[in-house]
């Protein structure tokens, strides 16, 4: 092909702003704003093709990843139109963007990014994996709602001078705590009504999370992800929910060339401030997938509950039963190394949260090795 036209698309719920850039002549061809429908995008692309019908032409479309999802990209690809979704964090921003920002300017910038390849493409999941990812995110939001409902109930009790007398925060929401809640008496009927409403909301959210966990366990047994879930569950600290979240959020682990690249994707790598001869390490970048980063940190933190290295719980033994010996040996090695790294850092006086985060980065590298069959 002797001519490539790049179409930047600034997409919104109601409108799309389109801008075409001719890479051969280094000029903008046309700009327009259309309704947010695929058919109008196809008409725009067709008009460009008609304009250069005597040339060997290729049209490449692209837009930023955002709340509109991947449906536009999939529809264009089905119509044999090349389309990419660009990661917003990979796009260099001009200082002018802070003073002048319009849909037209954004569409122009996206077209230039496409032409100059100054972007990183987002990995587009299959519709099946994307549906599973949505389910795991529903569960994550339900967990946050459950936590919030519990906090509201405890705050209400504190305002009424009712403090749980049998321990600190770690003793909340146990059977003994539930029995204590049933013994509470309120002089004012309105306070009793408010308490019951708060408690009902807590029970509702607890039941909601339990139902979602059952559904995720059911999905985990489907042929699409069953084998990968069983592999990941061989790691100590990784539950079915965490395993399904990793698979559905990442998709293809082979797109990361190295284990460190996967850890960077999760935002678990330290930042660096370097100037001249001075260089200073900063905290983790937090530039990647925040949900997976949180899950891995929680998984690593749970390993601290087991004080004996090499000792397996009955739950882990059940998960590893029938698995390939090389996979079991690999996960055992990973668990031992992550535990020792975390404890060694804490022993040296490193903050517990920093040590846990560093150990989570180690676990992320082992997960990459498992999912890319580098378990030797």
Which one, of 86, 365, 136, 369, lies nearest residue 248 by Cα? 136
Determine contact, residues 53/65, Cβ cutoff 8 Å. Answer: no
Q: Domain total for the chain?
A: 3
Domain boundaries, position 270: 226-371
Indicate if 333 and 315 belong to the same structural domain: yes
Indicate if 233 and 358 belong to the same structural domain: yes
Phi, psi torsion values for 45, nearest 5 degrees: -65, -40
Q: Is residue 34 part of a domain?
A: yes
Last residue of a domain, one of 93, 116, 139: 116
Indicate if 191 and 245 belong to the same structural domain: no
Task: Check residue 194 and give its pLDDT.
Answer: 97
DSSP-derived letter for residue 128 is H
Q: Please, is 316 exposed, middle or buried when counting C-beta atoms within 10 Å of its C-beta (0-12, 13-18, 19+)?
A: buried
Last residue of a domain, one of 197, 220, 243: 220
Q: Is residue 311 part of a domain?
A: yes
Q: Which residues of the chain have pLDDT under 70?
A: 1, 94-99, 168-170, 306-310, 376
Indicate if 26 and 95 belong to the same structural domain: yes
Structure tokens at 233: 């569950």
Indicate if 195 and 257 belong to the same structural domain: no
Q: Is residue 122 part of a domain?
A: no
Indicate if 185 and 234 belong to the same structural domain: no
Give the span between the Cα atoms of 365 and 3, in whole angstroms.
42
Indicate if 236 and 354 belong to the same structural domain: yes
Beta bridge partners of 18: 9, 32
Structure tokens at 346: 């804490």
Q: Is residue 64 part of a domain?
A: yes
Indicate if 353 and 234 belong to the same structural domain: yes
Indicate if 237 and 353 belong to the same structural domain: yes
Q: How many CB atoms lie within 10 A of CB 271?
A: 13
Q: Is residue 121 part of a domain?
A: no
Q: Which residue has the tokens 């959210």?
A: 205
Indicate if 175 and 304 belong to the same structural domain: no
Q: Which residues contact 268 (CB under 8 A, 6 or more apart)?
A: 284, 288, 293, 296, 357, 360, 361, 364
Last residue of a domain, one of 220, 255, 271: 220
Q: Is residue 14 part of a domain?
A: yes
**Strand, coil or helix: 42:** helix
pTM of the model: 0.87
Task: Check residue 98 and give its pLDDT.
Answer: 60
Q: Domain of 58: which CATH number?
A: 3.30.420.40
Q: Is residue 358 part of a domain?
A: yes
Task: Check residue 283 and give its pLDDT.
Answer: 78
Q: What are the tens digits of pLDDT across the range 230-263? A: 999 999 999 999 999 999 999 999 999 999 999 9
Task: Check residue 24 and give its pLDDT.
Answer: 86
Give the span between the Cα atoms of 307 and 317, in whole angstroms.
17
Task: Check residue 309 and give its pLDDT.
Answer: 60
Q: Indicate the helix (H) or strand (E) that contains 319.
A: helix 314-320
Q: Which residue has the tokens 């180690």?
A: 362
Indicate if 153 and 242 belong to the same structural domain: no
Indicate if 76 and 189 belong to the same structural domain: no
Which one, of 353, 336, 326, 139, lies nearest residue 242 by Cα? 139
Phi, psi torsion values for 50, nearest 5 degrees: -65, -30
Task: Check residue 310 and give its pLDDT.
Answer: 63
């Amino acid at each position: 092909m002797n001519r490539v036209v790049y179409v930047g698309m600034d997409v919104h719920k109601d409108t799309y702003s389109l801008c075409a850039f001719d890479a051969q002549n280094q000029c903008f061809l046309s700009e327009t704003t259309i309704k947010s429908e695929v058919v109008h995008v196809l008409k725009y692309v067709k008009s460009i093709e008609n304009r250069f019908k005597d040339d060997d032409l290729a049209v490449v479309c692209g837009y930023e990843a955002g709340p509109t999802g991947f449906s536009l990209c999939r529809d264009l690809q089905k119509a044999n139109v090349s389309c990419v979704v660009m990661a917003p964090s990979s796009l260099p921003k001009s200082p002018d963007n802070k003073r002048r920002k319009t849909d037209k300017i954004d569409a122009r910038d996206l077209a230039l990014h496409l032409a100059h390849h100054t972007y990183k493409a987002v990995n587009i999941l299959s519709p099946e994996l994307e549906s599973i990812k949505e389910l795991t995110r529903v569960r994550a939001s339900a967990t946050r709602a459950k936590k919030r409902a519990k906090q509201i109930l405890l705050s209400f009790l504190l305002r009424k001078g009712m403090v749980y007398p049998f321990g600190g925060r770690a003793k909340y929401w146990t059977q003994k705590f539930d029995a204590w809640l049933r013994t509470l008496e309120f002089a004012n009927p309105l306070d009793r009504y408010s308490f019951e409403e708060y408690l009902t909301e807590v029970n509702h959210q607890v039941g909601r999370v339990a139902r979602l966990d059952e559904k995720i366990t059911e999905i985990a047994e489907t042929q699409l992800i069953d084998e990968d879930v069983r592999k990941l569950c061989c790691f100590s600290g990784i539950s079915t929910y965490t395993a399904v979240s990793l698979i559905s959020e990442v998709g293809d682990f082979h797109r990361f060339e190295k284990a460190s690249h996967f850890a960077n994707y999760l935002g678990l790598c330290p930042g660096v401030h370097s100037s001249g001869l001075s260089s200073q390490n900063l905290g983790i970048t937090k530039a990647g997938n925040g949900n997976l980063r949180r899950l891995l940190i929680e998984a690593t933190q749970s390993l601290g509950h087991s004080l004996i290295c090499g000792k397996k719980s009955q739950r882990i033994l059940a998960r590893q039963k029938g698995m390939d010996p090389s996979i079991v040996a690999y996960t055992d090695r990973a668990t031992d190394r992550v535990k020792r790294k975390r404890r060694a850092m804490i022993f040296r006086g490193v903050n517990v949260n920093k040590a846990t985060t560093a150990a989570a980065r180690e676990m992320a590298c082992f997960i990459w090795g498992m999912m890319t069959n580098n378990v030797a």
